[in-house]
Amino acid sequence: MTLVAGKPAPTRPALQEHALRAIHSVIHRPWVSAMRRSHSLFVCLTLLGLFALAGCNRPPVAPPNTTPEAAVRADLVLTRNGDFDGLLRSTLPPADYQAWRTQWQRARTQQPAPTAEQRAQFAGAMQKLTAPGAEDALMKQLQPQLEQFRAHRAQNLPMLIGILQAAGNHLVQNATGLSAVQQQQATQAVAALAAWAQSVDFTDEPKARQAIGVVCDTARKLDVKTLDQLRAMNYQQTMARYATGWDGLKRLLKIYGLDLDASFDHAKLEMLSNDGSHARVRETFLLADKPIVSEVNLVMQNGHWYDADALAAWRKHH
């Protein structure tokens, strides 16, 4: 743990560190598995055609983690691209990665069976999102709600954002495996997102129509109709669905002005120290126009650099 001005320096930008921990909720618990919640990702979209429009729109390629800066950059790129299995391989040495795969399979087989009500709710939601003309039908349902929310926006929006911010902070404070510094960092990210949400007009009908299009298109691309189908997916299929959901979430947020790809692409790295076996890299990550500065401690193992804090957290909880 490093110190800056008498205070512990953050070890990873809040968006990446906590979002990835919540992605396991999606994937990783240095970072605990929460695969059972994966069905919530049906609200996201991947727009693969975007990358076919021009070469400049292709996702960046992660560098090998043979230098401290490259290791940090690789984690950013892999997260940005939704390559969560690649992120795990980059974050964990081979033996730890194999342990992760074993744990994932064990957790999957030990999931409690969904109830009949859960099966029906999931199937109904997917049917509603993927049916022909779903976009128009959902927009028709949403328009009265937009009008009502618009009429009371000044009173309701701050209260709603406050509730969501409190819920986010509660999630952070109760997230197992997060250090005090990481919790502080994640809380800063929640605050940045809350400030961003205050400035967004969520009642804008053209944007709402675009957002519904993203949600419906994502549901179709996920190609999952039932909870049983979701539970039967193997590891590779599950990771692919997470990537689809993550890309869709990014595009959904971009409609309202939050460009996560730009945040990952423009993160700044600065080498602070490197003695050949341990290193420290400062990372500045701009989230919703709010800079989140953190210091990543790295350790060299078998020719590769790894995030020392993430690796220690993984080994502590596994």
Do the domain assignments include residue 85?
yes
Q: How confident is the model at residue 17 (pLDDT cuts 50, 70, 90)?
A: very low
pLDDT of residue 281 exceeding 90? yes
Does 163 reside within a domain?
Answer: yes
Average pLDDT, the chain: 81
- For residue 182, the model assigns a pLDDT of 66
Other Cβ atoms closer than 10 A to 129: 21
Give per-residue pLDDT as tens, 215-237.
999 999 999 999 999 999 999 99
- Bridge partners for 300 per DSSP: 305
5: left (phi over 0), alpha (psi -120 to 50) or beta: left
**Measured between alpha carbons, how far is 23 from 19 in angstroms, rounded to an integer?**
6
Amino acid at residue number 119: R
Please give the residue range of the domain that contains residue 249: 10-317
pLDDT at 14 over 60: no
pLDDT band at 178 (very low <50, low <70, confident <90, very high): low
Q: Using an 8 Å Cβ cutoff, are 2 and 308 in contact?
A: no
Flag whether 268 is in a domain.
yes
The angle formed by the CA atoms of residues 282, 284 and 289, to the nearest 5 degrees, is 165
CA distance 41 to 285: 25
Residue 18 counted as domain residue: yes
Domain-located, residue 3: no
Q: Is residue 4 part of a domain?
A: no
Q: How far apart are CA 311 and CA 93, in angstroms?
A: 9
| Number of domain units in the chain | 1
Per residue in 41-96, pLDDT (tens digit) is 333 333 333 333 333 345 778 777 789 999 999 999 999 999 999 999 998 999 99
The verdict on residue 31 lying in a domain is yes
Element (H, E) at 180: helix 180-198
Per-residue pLDDT, 180: 54
Residue 218 domain flag:
yes
> Does the pLDDT value for residue 241 go beyond 60?
yes
